[in-house]
Amino acid sequence: MIPKVVSWKKDAVVDLVNLLESGDTIAVIDIHGVPADSMIGMRSSLRESLAIRVAKKRLMRLAWERAGLKADNLEQLFDGAVQPALVSSSKLNSFEVFTALKATQAGRAAKPGDRAPYDIVVEKMDTGMPPGPIVGDLNSVGIPAKIMKGSVQIQKRTVILKEGEEFEGELGLMLSKLGINPIVAGLRLCGTLEGGTVFAPSTLDINFEQFESDLISYASGVFNLACNITWFTNQTMPTILA
């Protein structure tokens, strides 16, 4: 007896295929840890520029295959995604998709069970907090605090957790009181596919203001060099003659 495929699964695959075929830029994002109410707001704010569909990986793979895309590319985009979702855009390129999704991200306090995304370091500083039980609370989680000159001060630079280590007890809460909220909540880009090329987030993370400043600096340097070696062009002639 051939098992019947539930109709909603067929509809979901068709919808995903339409999504994949509707955009020039396709991406996989990770929505793990994003509260449902926050997810609704994020999708609403991004609706005009990109479309998001949440589905099981199996259904995404079926849709990907039916859309004629390479399976290896999808598996590459799935890498590191706990709860993946598909994104498609006909308006934004890969760099613009990265920027739009990054705007949804914000740091939150670490909870027990979260893992440090990087080395968590508390610098030596004056916290500005008044004396009180907070001193004992900070010391209890390994943050060396002491009352000095009427305020709570961290005595020395301390590496609290190494990357990948797990938060326990009240550590996340105490770090939050110091302004350290290391867990990023938001739509995390796992990668994009555009023009047959897979782009990793690290490739797309560009400071455009710095990039523009660098281009201006490079152009100025080249122009100065051309003038100094009397390289005759339409651009350098006025300056050389002057």
For residue 217, the enclosing domain spans 207-242
Question: Are both 15 and 96 inside the same structural domain?
Answer: yes
Question: Are both 193 and 215 inside the same structural domain?
Answer: no
Question: Are both 82 and 194 inside the same structural domain?
Answer: yes
pLDDT band at 225 (very low <50, low <70, confident <90, very high): confident
Question: Are both 211 and 199 inside the same structural domain?
Answer: no
Residue 95 is assigned to a structural domain of this protein: yes
Cβ-contact 225, 217 below 8 angstroms: no
Question: Are both 151 and 163 inside the same structural domain?
Answer: yes
Mean pLDDT, residues 11-26: 93
- Plot region of 46 (φ>0 → left; ψ -120 to 50 → alpha; else → beta): alpha
Alpha helices (H) in the chain, listed in sequence order:
7-22, 36-46, 57-66, 71-78, 94-102, 134-140, 171-177, 201-204, 208-228, 237-241
Residue 58 has pLDDT above 70, yes or no: yes
Q: Total structural domains in the chain?
A: 3
Give the Å distances, CA to CA, from 111 to 44, 178, 183, 205. Answer: 28, 15, 9, 27
What's the pLDDT tens digit per position in 81-123? Answer: 889 999 999 999 999 999 999 988 888 889 998 888 889 999 9
CATH of the domain at 173: 3.90.105.20
Mean pLDDT, residues 126-148: 92
Q: Given 131, 149, 182, which residue is the final one in a domain?
A: 182
**What's the pTM?**
0.66
Question: Are both 40 and 79 inside the same structural domain?
Answer: yes
Residue 32 is assigned to a structural domain of this protein: yes
Give the Å distances, CA to CA, from 143 to 134, 241, 242. Answer: 11, 66, 65
* pLDDT in the model for residue 1: 44
pLDDT band at 5 (very low <50, low <70, confident <90, very high): low
Question: Are both 178 and 216 inside the same structural domain?
Answer: no
Residue 26: helix, strand or coil by DSSP? strand
* pLDDT in the model for residue 66: 94
Residue 4 has pLDDT above 60, yes or no: no
